[in-house]
Structure 1
Amino acid sequence: MATIGLDKLYYSKITEDENGEETYGLPAVLAKAIKADLSVELSEAVLYADDGAAEVIKDFKSGKLSLGVDDIGVSAATDLTGATIDDNGVLISTSESNGPSVAVGFRAQKADGRYRYFWLYRVKFGLPATNLQTKGDSITFSTPTIEGTVLRRNKLDGNGKHPWKAEVTEGDASVPAAVISGWYTQVYEPVYSGGV
């Protein structure tokens, strides 16, 4: 079903242990969302046998997330891009600014009024783009865009896999209500009863 809205854009700082496995901090509001574009790049291999394709493997390689937001606050900018704040409270971006990876969560409203919820487990952002324009006969809003690379997380889930995204639709009969009501209290952790 088509989506007609986007809101509740959050991020969660990541702490890594000595093995690189992620622990997620409490989610915080990133900004008011205007637009989110997610594209995925796959690694593909085709095995040919008997003059035709016998096996095809398509694995997640990485993704690109482009977020249009109303404004990136100073706190979010330091957490996402590695920029610093000087003694006068001025945000300083340097050529060495290299922010840590974060998890990103948001929701998209569907045409039936229900929401589809997302967590991207590991996103590495670059510096935000700024587009400015002088006022003319009419007012045009200029808003920042920030782009990040979506990666799989290092920590294995209960099935021994490396997830990169969690997605759920509100109102699905198989989804406990607590999953939706707690979506922004912590980064969603996959649950499996069997495991590996």
Structure 2
Amino acid sequence: MATVGLDKLFYAPITEVATTGDETYGIPVMLAKAMTAELSVELAEATLYADDGASEVVKEFKNGKLTLGVDNIGRNTAQALTGAATDDNGVLISASEDGGNPVAIGFRAKKSNGKYKYIWLYRVKFAVPSTSLSTKGDSITFSTPSIEGTVMRRNKLDKQGKHPWKAEVDEGDKDVLPATINAWYTSVYEPNFK
């Protein structure tokens, strides 16, 4: 179903277990007011040819690119996402050596039926935000930042022995419990396979 909106953009810090690299997630925090979210995915692909034709094709998630258009990236969010630091005068300082830690990113998109699609991307590493500014002319034009991140798979295996990179659910699907939707932003969703 088509989507007609985007809101509730959150991030959750990741702590990695030193011996395994498995992720645990902190409490989700509002990132900014969401304007746009563009997710593109790159696949690793291989084709096995036999008897003069394609016999097997394998396509696996390699990584993705997430570009977020937001109303503002505050000082605390910039620190959390990019590794920038605040000096003793409260000024945000970005250095060439900065390289923030990966975070989980969650958001929702309103569908044309009034329900929502909820998404968590389990591991995203962001670059320094880009900004486009222009002088005021005859009309008012808003200038807002965008930030681009690389989406990666989790280190932690799920109960099926796979490395998930995204969780998504459509509100209102018959097998989706209301508790799943209600808890979406209280913590990063963990796969639940029996």
- TM-score band by shorter chain is over 0.9
The residue aligned with 2:129 is 128
The answer on 1:6 being equivalent to 2:6 is: yes
Q: Tell me, which stretches of 5 or more residues in structure 2 are unaligned?
A: none
Which residue type is aligned with residue 5 of structure 1?
A: G
Deviations 1:47-86 (CA, angstroms, capped at 9, x unpaired): 0000000000000000000000000011110000000000
The residue aligned with 1:179 is 180
Which residue type is aligned with residue 100 of structure 1?
A: N
Which residue type is aligned with residue 60 of structure 1?
A: F
The answer on 1:113 being equivalent to 2:150 is: no
- Count, aligned residues: 193
Which residue type is aligned with residue 15 of structure 1?
A: T
TM-score (norm 2): 0.99
Q: How far apart are the structure 2 equivalents of 1:24 and 1:122?
A: 10
Which residue type is aligned with residue 139 of structure 2?
A: S
Q: How far apart are the structure 1 equivalents of 2:35 and 2:25?
A: 25
Q: How far apart are the structure 1 equivalents of 2:35 and 2:164?
A: 26
| Residue 173 (structure 1) shift | 1.1
Deviations 1:78-132 (CA, angstroms, capped at 9, x unpaired): 0000000000000000000100000000000000100000000000000000000
The answer on 1:63 being equivalent to 2:51 is: no
CA RMSD between the two structures? 0.4
Q: Tell me, which stretches of 5 or more residues in structure 1 are unaligned?
A: none
The residue aligned with 2:100 is 99
TM-score (norm 1): 0.98
The residue aligned with 2:162 is 161
Q: How far apart are the structure 2 equivalents of 1:79 and 1:153?
A: 19
Q: How far apart are the structure 2 equivalents of 1:33 and 1:49?
A: 49
The residue aligned with 2:53 is 52
Which residue type is aligned with residue 141 of structure 1?
A: F
Sequence identity of aligned pairs in percent?
68
| Residue 158 (structure 1) shift | 1.2
Which residue type is aligned with residue 144 of structure 2?
A: T
